[in-house]
Structure 1
C-alpha cells in the first residue's frame, strides 16, 4: 500500500529530545522553544513567534488577542478545517462563511466586501495547500473597515506572496496575526504542534501572557518583574521542550525536505498535465509560490472522484478527499439557515489529494500517475 502520508524523520529527533531531557527543563519555553521561535522570526520576518501545542491553539490565542465577544462576526471560508471556525465560536463569535473562488479553493476576495457589516471584527483567510490568498485585496478591505486579519497558514510554511508593489513576503507575515501547524501531515512536523506569529506588535506582550496561562511568568524569568501572578485570561498553550526539540530537528532539514517535496509535486504535474479530461490540476496564481504541501486533482463530478478513489485503493494507493464545507455541517445547520456556496461545495465534492511525502519514491509517483491515466 502506498499510504497517503508517512511522517518523515530526519534522524536527529531523538538526539535533540534526549538533550532536552538531560537539560532538566522539559516543561516548555526552554532552549529548543527559543531556537524554533528565533528561526522563524529571523528567516521569514515575523515580528514575534510563540510555539503552541497545535494550530488550533494558535487560532484560539488569536481570537482572545483581538477580544472576540458574543455578537462579533468573523468571516472565514467554508472550505476549511473546523478549527478555523471553532476558535472564534468558542469566544462567542458568529461565523460568516465565504465562498471559494472558481480558480482555486481559496477564499473568493471579490465577494468579501458584501459580507462585511458593522459587527464584522476579523477576516480569516486560509492559504489552502500553502497557496497564497489575494492578500492585497484582503488587507485593503481590512484597512478600510478597520478589521483584523488572521492568516490561517496551517499549510503554508515556507510559502510566499508577491503583492502589487512587487514585494515578496512570507505567508503569515502579512496579517495582524497568523497560525501555523506542525501536525504530522505538514511539511515539517512535531506530531502535533503549531505556532502563533504576531506581526502587529501591540499584541506581543499580551500574547506571551495568554500563552503562559494568563500570567507574566515569562517576564519574571527574564528578570523584568520580581514576581509573577495572574494578570489576564489565558490557557496552557505552550508545548513541552520534547515537542520543540522534535521540531528543531525538522527545521534543520527544512531546505532538504522542501526540495524533495517540490520535486515530487513537479513530477506529478508533468505526468498528469494534459492527459485526462476527467480532472483539473492545481493552478498557482502568479502572486503565489508553491510550497508543495499537497498535490490535488479536481474531478468533473462527485461520482468520477469516487470512482478514482476506489480504483486507486484497489491498486494499493491511498488517496483522500478533503474538507466537507462547514456551511453544510450538522453543527452549523443546527443554529443557522442553509447557505448556497457554489464553489465551496464544488471542491468538497470533487477534490482529491494524492500521496505526497518525503520518502515517496519516483517509482511510486509513476505508479500513481499510471493508475490515474490508464482508464
Structure 2
C-alpha cells in the first residue's frame, strides 16, 4: 500500500508563472506588485482595517507584540493548548505568559476562564481560533473593553473562517480584535510555503504597523511620495516577504473558493463516515459552536484517553497512514513548566493526550478518505 501523507501542498498551476512574472519585473524584494495584490484582496474580501504580509505568522505575532508595546512584566493571557509562537512573540518582549485552559467541547480557549486571570498587569488576551473555529469574540471583546486590554487574534488556522455575534452580524475571523495574525504555511488552507499576514483593525496602530514592518522606518511612505526622505522612526525589523512569496500566494488566493469547496467536501466525508463509529467508541468529532463557521482547516478526533489515541496512531502508521497528534500543552513544556503557576489545566492536558489529526489536503481523494475510515473501524470497534 502506498503511504498516505498527513499533508501535501497543493499548487493551483499559476504559482511558477506569477513567480517568473515577478522576476521579470526587476523587483523581487518585498512590497511590490504581488504584495499589494494580495493585501488588497484580503482587506477587501474580509473587511480587515489594514493588511501587511509577513514572512510567517510568527513574524505577524512578533509585530503585534511590538505594536502594543509589550514591556517586561506585562501579562498576556493565551491558551496553553497552542503552538509555541503564540507565546514566544510576547516572551521575547519580556511578558509573563498566563495560561488559560481550553473549552470542554473544543480545544479553543475557555472564554469563561479569562476574567479570573486578569490582573492590573494584564496587557493583552490572545485567543487562538483552533482549527479555524471561532472563539466567542463577543465575550472576549467585552472583557477587553471592561479592563482596557488589547485583543490579538491568533488566526493562524482561520483564513475564511467567520464569527456571528449577538447582534447577528457575520464577521471574518481576524477582523474583530485590535490585531490578528494569519499563517500561509504549507499545512494551511492557503499557502506560500512559509508566509503570513498581520491584520490591523485599530486605526491608531495602522501607521505604526507599517513602520515596524519596514525595519522601523517610514520607507513605505517615502516610496509613495508622502515624505521627502525616510528615517529610522521606531523599533522594527524586516518582516515583509519577498515578491517571490507574494507571487506564489497570489496564485492561491485566486483559487480560494475552489480550494475551500474541495476542503469542505473532504471534511464532510470524514464526518459522515465517522459519526456513528465515534459515538459508539466514546470518541469526539470536531464541534462547531453556533456562533462559528467551519473553514475546513483540519479534521481531528478527540480520543477517550491516551491509550486509545496511541492505538489509533500506531495502527494507522502501520498501515502507512500518516496521522499525527497535535500540540503539547505549553504550561508543561520544558521551557515554561518552572515559570507556570501550577494551576491544573485539565482540558489542555486532555487534548494533549487525546487529539489525533487525520490526513487532510486538497488532493486527498474521497476513496482514500473511505480507506482511512475503514482502517479506523478495524482498529477500534
Structure 2 residue 299 is the aligned partner of structure 1 residue 295: yes
Q: Say which of 327, 330, 338 aligns to 1:326.
A: 330
Aligned pairs for 1:268-287 within 5 A = 268-276=270-278, 277-287=281-291
Aligned pairs for 1:238-277 within 5 A = 238-276=240-278, 277=281
Instruction: For residue 233 of structure 1, report the CA deviation from its aligned partner.
Output: 0.5
Unaligned residue ranges in structure 2 (runs of 5+): none
2: CA distance between counterparts of 1:333 and 1:158? Answer: 35
Structure 2 residue 154 is the aligned partner of structure 1 residue 156: no
2: CA distance between counterparts of 1:334 and 1:16? Answer: 49
Aligned counterpart, 2:220: 218
Aligned counterpart, 1:26: 28
1: CA distance between counterparts of 2:74 and 2:320? Answer: 48
Say which SS state the counterpart of residue 119 (structure 2) adopts. Answer: coil
Q: Say which of 310, 319, 329 aligns to 1:306.
A: 310
2: CA distance between counterparts of 1:325 and 1:215? Answer: 37
Contact 1:155–1:181 (CA under 8 A) maintained in structure 2? yes
Instruction: For residue 192 of structure 1, report the CA deviation from its aligned partner.
Output: 0.2
2: CA distance between counterparts of 1:333 and 1:371? Answer: 37
Q: Say which of 192, 195, 207 aligns to 1:193.
A: 195
Instruction: For residue 275 of structure 1, report the CA deviation from its aligned partner.
Output: 1.3
Aligned counterpart, 2:183: 181
Cα deviations across residues 199-231 of structure 1 (Å, max 9, x unaligned)?
Answer: 001100010000000000000000000000111
Aligned pairs for 1:59-98 within 5 A = 59-98=61-100
| TM score, norm. by length of structure 2 | 0.98
2: CA distance between counterparts of 1:138 and 1:337? Answer: 23
Say which SS state the counterpart of residue 178 (structure 1) adopts. Answer: strand
Contact 1:190–1:247 (CA under 8 A) maintained in structure 2? yes
Instruction: For residue 334 of structure 1, report the CA deviation from its aligned partner.
Output: 3.6
Aligned pairs for 1:38-117 within 5 A = 38-117=40-119
1: CA distance between counterparts of 2:264 and 2:359? Answer: 13
2: CA distance between counterparts of 1:271 and 1:334? Answer: 43
Cα deviations across residues 19-58 of structure 1 (Å, max 9, x unaligned)?
Answer: 0000001100000000000001100100100000000000
Unaligned residue ranges in structure 1 (runs of 5+): none
RMSD between aligned residues: 0.7
Say which SS state the counterpart of residue 297 (structure 1) adopts. Answer: strand
Cα deviations across residues 72-120 of structure 1 (Å, max 9, x unaligned)?
Answer: 0000000000000000000000000000010100100111100000000
Say which SS state the counterpart of residue 76 (structure 2) adopts. Answer: strand
Contact 1:327–1:339 (CA under 8 A) maintained in structure 2? no
Say which SS state the counterpart of residue 38 (structure 2) adopts. Answer: helix
Say which SS state the counterpart of residue 197 (structure 2) adopts. Answer: strand
Say which SS state the counterpart of residue 196 (structure 1) adopts. Answer: strand
Contact 1:278–1:304 (CA under 8 A) maintained in structure 2? no
After TM superposition, where is structure 1 displaced by more than 6 Å over at least 4 residues in a row?
none
2: CA distance between counterparts of 1:312 and 1:278? Answer: 19
Contact 1:328–1:338 (CA under 8 A) maintained in structure 2? no
2: CA distance between counterparts of 1:140 and 1:185? Answer: 33
1: CA distance between counterparts of 2:350 and 2:249? Answer: 35
2: CA distance between counterparts of 1:35 and 1:133? Answer: 29
1: CA distance between counterparts of 2:377 and 2:271? Answer: 12
Aligned counterpart, 2:142: 140
Structure 2 residue 348 is the aligned partner of structure 1 residue 344: yes
Cα deviations across residues 236-294 of structure 1 (Å, max 9, x unaligned)?
Answer: 00000000000000000000000000000000000000114141111100100000000
Aligned counterpart, 1:119: 121
Contact 1:52–1:195 (CA under 8 A) maintained in structure 2? yes
1: CA distance between counterparts of 2:21 and 2:376? Answer: 46
Cα deviations across residues 322-373 of structure 1 (Å, max 9, x unaligned)?
Answer: 0000000000024344331000000000000001100000111000000111
